[in-house]
Amino acid sequence: MRLSKNFTLKELIKSDTAVRKGINNNPNEDHINNLERLATNILQPVRDHFAKVVSISSGYRSAELCVAIGSSVNSQHASGQAADFEIFGVSNKEVADWIVDNLNFDQCILEFWNPEEPNSGWVHCSYKTDEDNRREYLRAFKGADGRTVYQKEYSKTTGPSKEDVNNSLM
């Protein structure tokens, strides 16, 4: 089933872990509708802009698959609203910044990106609906205690708001 010009349902539900562990990772109709919105509003515009293959590392995850990989069953992946991806040869920061500056999204997380290694990490992006999207841009990294830390991130054009600056001074 084609979700958009360049994205199929098959690639957004593919999971080697699900295959290896015999986990059913087939989405229901609501999940498929969410994946179609994600492909149409996020993935396809990214593909069109960069004119390169967008490599999906994780899309839809059933609740059972979420548990198997140590993810939350409340993850937006479990509702078909999120995907993790990258474009080989393009900095993940550049991809994430372009999404933030040009698309309506729910969350865009620059995951485990290292400025010294532009292709490190990946981009996690979610989409709900035009009305419900939070437009939240975050960066995920490992803290000193080894736990994942999420911090607000900014593109070159968005920068911190006055509220962000004031909150950082408190």
Tokens of 131: 């009305």
The residue among 109, 133, 102 whose CA lies nearest residue 37 is 133
d(CA 123, CA 100): 11
Total length of the chain: 170
Contact 50, 56 (CB under 8 A): no
- Mean pLDDT of all residues in 136-146: 94
Domains of the chain, first to last: 2-169 (3.30.1380.10)
Q: Which residues contact 16 (CB under 8 A, 6 or more apart)?
A: none
Say what the pLDDT of residue 95 is.
97
pLDDT attached to residue 118: 78
Residue 160 or 75, more confident: 75
Number of H helices, E strands in the chain: 7, 8
**Per-residue model confidence as pLDDT tens digits over 15-61:** 999 999 999 999 999 999 999 999 999 999 999 999 999 999 999 99
Is the confidence at residue 154, as pLDDT, over 70? yes
Sign of CA dihedral 47, 150, 35, 60: positive
Above 80 in pLDDT, residue 4?
A: yes
Instruction: Give the pLDDT of residue 167.
Output: 54
Nearest-CA neighbor of 108 among 155, 72, 164, 69? 155
**pLDDT of amino acid 169:** 45
> Does the pLDDT at position 170 exceed 80?
no
